[in-house]
């Protein structure tokens, strides 16, 4: 002890030494000098056996993993989901045997990652962009990942187009700038994108904070009950603090002072005990093709109108704890749409099927083969026993109590793992059809965008027109004309107002035929013949209370930079749009 470091003022051992806060390397060796390399003399040269320097610098060289291609910038926090035990007014067991929904008051811990989609890891959090809304539920039957967005629909309906839509939204591979001409070149040839564009280029494309936005599963899933009966389901999260969004002008003011305003807002709200909450709802539909509808319930460019498929309350999500380490808990958290628990299932949604492969494939590439051994990704409340072993950065083997460690295969009669005796029924409808490559039959690409346009608040509609007209003004004429044609197909007012900003009228685009392979409904053919003269009203009651059609508070930059305190918003579900 004679040589132990002393506090120069007290003559006692330093607090860090006695409390165990001694700097070491990964081998556990205490580091006595972290200021200088080992050199020949004070001026060098440095020697090759500088173990501590080499360990430190080579780790530093590798301390970033590849950023996510999409959702690169995000923020993670923790919380819990408390179930009502019901789905609407009925017992949850009527629709699903998933344990987390069964009992009133049952709490399931969770992690959630909010994110922007297109920008890089250090991009602005007030850019116009969909926001990721991905929840990892640590259930007793293993993890359930619900990987959604703040907007209820998507740009495309088939996963084979996902690389294309993302490439169009990402920076130009030559100029490395996000170019409106590239974005609308793609979208103008993709008519199903009009619904999503109507959401995204309205104020909903720039939430004031992560706390003041909705969340949606976007894709159609299934629930399965104890008898094996299935229903189609859509998931919704509605914020109790209400919705608030920014115009592009106000967002620019925020971005000029803070690129991470949304992360800061969420972190500080939780730290001061102002825990954000969302009411979780589902919409239920019988599990069949629904030929009575003029759109396909598996089409993720469509919503299910609440007037026909009402929201049913299932519980409340509360966020109450921040991460301790951004890299380990944010950069390395890994979610995927294939991560379902018993009582939940996939539908045949073409985007969902493609996402289910892509997400897990991405995690293995980006984080590593053993990404599920990391604490933030582990199934915390369920036992894990697999015959998987090896691979880069393996931490250990998933052995069951009493398992013979020599047996990493199945079947075996020598103490290896065996199949679960719990084989629950699942009786989905039988599907028959010819193997083909084709789009769904009921496309109806414009009616839901029309519904969204009509159910917006007036300031949202004004902002949508301004944003679309401004960005299309930077595009080439052929792209402008086709986009205006689409907007007239959506709604007279939409097309004429954006067209006025571009100097394009309905007569200027009336000669355009439908896109190659585009199939119009009889109603759409009639609209095309009377392009710009369809007499469209702006009447929200025609559409009922459609998804996202609730009041949206027009936030200022000052309110966002001030932490969104004392903002006069109310729970979203109490506010129907006017």
192 and 301 Cβ atoms separated by less than 8 Å: yes
Give me the CATH code for the 446-554 domain, please: 1.20.1370
Rounded to whole angstroms, the Cα distance separating 519 from 148 reads: 29
Looking at residue 13, its pLDDT comes to: 47
Distance CA 154, CA 151 (A): 8
Strands 277-286 and 312-322: antiparallel
d(CA 430, CA 446) in angstroms, rounded, equals 31
Q: Residue 223: name the closest of 301, 300, 146, 110 by CA.
A: 146
Cα distances from 167 to residues 163, 487, 532, in angstroms, run 6, 23, 32
Tokens at 331, concatenated = 């950069």
Task: List Cβ neighbours of 297 (8 Å cut-off, separation of 6 or more).
Answer: 220, 232, 285, 290, 304
**369 or 528, greater pLDDT:** 528
Residues annotated catalytic, as ranges? 71, 149
139: enclosing H helix or E strand: strand 131-139
Q: 19: pLDDT confidence band, cut at 50, 70 and 90?
A: low
The model carries a pTM of 0.91
563 dihedral zone (left: phi>0; alpha: psi -120 to 50; beta): left
Token pair for 322: 């921040």
Q: What's the DSSP call for residue 488?
A: H
Q: Is the dihedral of CA 402, 403, 405, 406 positive or negative?
A: positive
Among 157-171, 373-387, 420-434, 547-561, which is the least confidently predicted range? 420-434
Given the candidates 1.10.1270.20, 2.60.120.10, 3.40.50.720, 2.40.180.10, the CATH classification of the domain at 74-382 is: 2.40.180.10
The Cα angle at residue 481 between residues 477 and 482, in degrees rounded to 5: 120
pLDDT at 398 (0 to 100): 87
Contact (CB, 8 A) for 285 and 53: no
Task: Determine the pLDDT at residue 334.
Answer: 94
- Looking at 176-190, 290-304, 404-418, 549-563, which range is the least confident one? 404-418
Q: Is the pLDDT of residue 71 over 50?
A: yes
Q: What does the alpha-carbon distance between residue 330 and residue 114 come to, in Å, rounded to a whole number?
A: 10
Higher pLDDT, residue 55 or 455? 455
Indicate whether 267 pLDDT > 70.
yes
C-alpha to C-alpha distance for 287 and 230, rounded to whole angstroms? 6
Contact status, residue 78 vs residue 108, Cβ threshold 8 Å: no
Residue 262 structure tokens? 């949304």
Tokens 């009502």 belong to which residue?
A: 84
The 3-state DSSP class for residue 53 equals: helix
281 is in an annotated binding site: no
**For range 327-351, the mean pLDDT:** 93
Question: Given the structure tokens 């793609």, which residue do they identify?
Answer: 186
Contact yes or no for 177/214 (Cβ under 8 A):
no
pLDDT interval class at 572 (50, 70, 90): low
Angstrom CA distances, 270 to 79, 201, 280, 333, 500, stand at 10, 30, 20, 20, 46
What is the pLDDT at residue 393? 84
Q: Where are the domains of the chain?
A: 74-382, 446-554
Distance CA 13, CA 6 (A): 4
Kind and range of the H or E run holding 559 = helix 557-561
| Per-residue b or e along 149-164, where b marks 16 or more CB atoms closer than 10 Å to that residue's CB | bbbbbbbbbbbebbee
What pLDDT does 390 receive?
Answer: 87
CB 343 within 8 A of CB 97: yes
Cα–Cα distance measured from residue 85 to residue 68, given in angstroms and rounded to the nearest whole number: 36
What CA–CA distances, in Å, run from 385 to 143, 272, 363?
A: 14, 40, 20
Q: Provide the pLDDT confidence category of residue 573 given band limits of 50, 70 and 90.
A: low
pLDDT digits (tens, 9 = 90+) for 246-261: 999 999 999 999 999 9
DSSP annotation string for 167-230: HHHSPPTTT-S--HHHHHHHHHT-GGGHHHHHHHTSGGGSBS-GGGS-EE--S-EEEE-TT--E
Q: Which among 293, 291, 288, 296 is positioned nearest to 307, based on CA atoms?
A: 293
């Amino acid at each position: 002890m004679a040589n132990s470091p002393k506090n120069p003022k007290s003559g006692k051992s330093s607090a860090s030494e006695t409390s165990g806060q001694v700097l070491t390397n990964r081998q556990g060796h205490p580091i006595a000098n972290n200021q200088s390399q080992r050199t020949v003399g004070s001026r060098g040269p440095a020697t090759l056996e500088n173990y501590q320097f080499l360990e430190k610098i080579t780790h530093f060289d590798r301390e970033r993993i590849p950023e996510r291609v999409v959702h690169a910038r995000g923020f993670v926090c923790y919380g819990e989901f408390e179930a009502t035990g019901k789905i609407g007014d009925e017992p949850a067991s009527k629709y699903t045997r998933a344990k987390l929904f069964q009992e009133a008051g049952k709490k399931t811990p969770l992690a959630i990652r909010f994110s922007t989609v297109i920008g890089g890891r250090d991009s602005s959090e007030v850019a116009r962009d969909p926001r990721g809304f991905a929840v990892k539920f640590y259930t007793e039957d293993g993890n359930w990942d619900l990987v959604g967005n703040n907007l209820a629909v998507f740009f495309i309906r088939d996963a084979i187009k996902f690389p294309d839509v993302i490439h169009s939204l990402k920076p130009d591979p030559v100029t490395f700038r996000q170019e409106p001409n590239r974005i609308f070149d793609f979208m103008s040839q993709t008519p199903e994108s009009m619904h999503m564009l109507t959401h995204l280029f309205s104020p909903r494309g720039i939430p004031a904070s992560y706390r003041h936005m909705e969340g949606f599963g976007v894709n159609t899933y299934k629930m399965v009950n104890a008898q094996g009966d299935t229903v189609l389901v859509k998931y919704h999260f509605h914020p109790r603090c209400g919705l608030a969004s920014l115009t592009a002008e106000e967002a620019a003011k925020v971005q000029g002072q803070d690129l991470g305003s949304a992360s800061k807002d969420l972190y500080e709200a939780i730290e001061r005990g102002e825990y954000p909450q969302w009411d979780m709802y589902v919409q239920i539909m019988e599990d069949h093709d629904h030929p009575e509808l003029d759109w396909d319930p598996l089409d993720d460019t469509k919503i299910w109108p609440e007037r026909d498929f009402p929201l049913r309350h299932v519980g409340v999500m509360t966020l109450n704890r921040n991460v301790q380490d951004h890299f380990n808990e944010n950069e390395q958290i890994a979610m995927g749409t294939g991560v379902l628990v018993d009582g939940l299932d996939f539908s045949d949604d073409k985007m969902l099927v493609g996402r289910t492969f892509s997400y897990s494939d991405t995690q293995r590439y980006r984080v590593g083969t053993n990404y599920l051994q990391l604490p933030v990704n582990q199934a915390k409340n369920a036992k894990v026993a697999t015959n998987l072993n090896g691979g880069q950065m393996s931490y250990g083997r998933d052995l069951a109590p009493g398992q013979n460690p020599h047996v990493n295969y199945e079947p075996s009669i020598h103490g290896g793992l065996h199949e679960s005796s719990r084989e629950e029924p699942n009786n989905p409808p039988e599907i028959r059809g010819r193997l083909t490559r084709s789009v769904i039959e009921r496309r109806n690409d414009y009616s839901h965008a029309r519904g969204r346009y009509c159910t917006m608040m007036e300031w949202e509609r004004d902002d949508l027109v301004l944003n679309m007209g401004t960005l299309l003004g930077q595009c080439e004429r052929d792209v402008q004309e086709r986009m205006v044609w689409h907007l007239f197909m959506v709604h007279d007012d939409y097309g004429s107002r954006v067209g006025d900003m571009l100097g394009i009228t309905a007569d200027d685009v009336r000669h355009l035929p439908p896109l190659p392979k585009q199939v119009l409904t009889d109603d759409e053919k009639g609209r095309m013949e009377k392009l710009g003269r369809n007499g469209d009203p702006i009447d929200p009651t025609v559409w009922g209370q459609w998804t996202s059609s609730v009041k949206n508070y027009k936030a200022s930059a000052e309110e966002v930079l001030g932490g969104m305190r004392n903002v006069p918003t109310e729970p979203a579900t109490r506010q129907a749009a006017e």
